[in-house]
Structure 1
């Protein structure tokens, strides 16, 4: 990958923070690496990276709030100065209700999850679409790629309807239902934005040892993100609209 500008939502910990670390360690890091979190003053490790790397910007973003999204996208446009956005990683998410039976599902859990995984990211993508289109139009690269202009939604193997069945892991309704909606959002956007040269795909980062994934995860954040870097580098037009595992396998819907 060779990207001039990147946005990573939910970058104060876990996979998002690891993306920041690995981007700044590239031989040619992005000129603008915009990282977000709900409480920048509490994101000590992220702030420390920003102090040592002038290309790293830490911006406040609460994906549940339209006012926060509006303020965030205004700041992004000032940072980019009209030069376009190459890569948007919609990583921020929630897992409010853990595993449980159907009778434990709450309206609030479903609505909060839908806001975090769908309505918030949709607004962010809409607000940043002119910047993504500008990057695609200005790029001399043929075809479609992450280095040109791309939106990557973070989904999960748990969102695969085909993987659900007897004997599987316990259900997590609000998380799985709304992440399945992310898959449909990805497919629809990939079709609509193809003519603008913007690649849209979604990924399953693996079962990672994070606050959300828990201590029994199969991958460290370092392993997951290294694999995702390799995967992103291979993305082209044929990758659009698909759900990929971190290891490159296509996960059935």
Structure 2
């Protein structure tokens, strides 16, 4: 698997940062690994990686701000010099008001979760679509793959309506917004498949991060290693699907 260019959101910590680490360690790393976060100056570990690897670019991005997204697109276009973007990896997200009782769920948490987890990725895809199209145009590869052009949205098993057990504790803002991410993925896949752009969403597993907590069953290293293996196998049969980090298809 060779990916010339990839953009990763939320790359300053957790799964996003681990993606950066494992991509730069590949035998043939990306020519351009664009890592975004809200506060680049505070992303010390990410900045350290960028200093050691000239192919790593650290850019500011607030997915809640349309002006920030437009500025990012301009900067990415300059970096790629017309070659196009192979992967948009929408990893950034929020998990607000985890497992609170229904009467304590706030409108603010619902709106922030939907804005960050759904509207942000959708706007990024809209704005960066010309760069994804350019990647398809410059590729001679048949079919669909991450080496050609792909949008990968980070989802969760908690988004699966069919998998929610009766009486389970609910994280209303997170679970509802991630279910919306699944629908976004399905709709995008229908629109972008004729253009040769693969779109899918992935459940990374229960991962030991600030969001997943210390009792999670996977380290970031294990989860990302599995997802990189999965990405290398994605093709036209994968588009529009929700897969877990080992490639198992999950129910909507």
Describe the SS at the equivalent of 1:203: strand
Corresponding residue for 1:219?
218
Distance 1:95 1:225 in 2: 20
Distance 1:77 1:204 in 2: 29
Deviations 1:92-117 (A, max 9, x none): 00012111121111111011001101
Separation in structure 2 between the aligned mates of residue 21 and residue 4 of structure 1, nearest angstrom = 16
Residue of structure 2 equivalent to 1:112: 112
Q: Deviations over 1:145-187 (max 9, x none)?
A: 011100000000000000112253x100000000000000000
Partner secondary structure for residue 30 of structure 2? coil
Matched, 1:156 2:156: yes
* Cα distance in 2 for residues equivalent to 1:217 and 1:167: 21
**For the residues of structure 2 that align with 1:59 and 1:102, how far apart are their CA atoms?**
38
- What is the alpha-carbon distance in structure 2 between the residues aligned to residue 225 and residue 37 of structure 1? 18
In structure 2, what is the Cα distance between the partners aligned to 1:249 and 1:100?
30
Counterparts of 2:114 and 2:133, CA distance in 1 = 26
Distance in structure 2 (CA, Å) of the matches to 1:104 and 1:176: 16
User: CA deviation digits over 1:115-163, x for unaligned, max 9?
Assistant: 1011111111111000001101211110000111000000000000001
Q: CA RMSD in A?
A: 0.8
Structure 2, unaligned runs of 5 or more: none
Report the Cα distance in structure 2 between the residues aligned to 1:246 and 1:122, rounded to whole angstroms: 22
Q: What is residue 235 of structure 1 aligned with on the other side?
A: 234
Residues 59-138 of structure 1 aligned to structure 2 (within 5 Å): 59-138=59-138
State the match for 1:201 in structure 2.
200
Structure 2 SS opposite 1:92 = coil
How many residue pairs match? The answer is: 252
Q: TM-score, normalised by structure 2?
A: 0.99
Runs of 4+ residues over 4 Å off in structure 1:
none
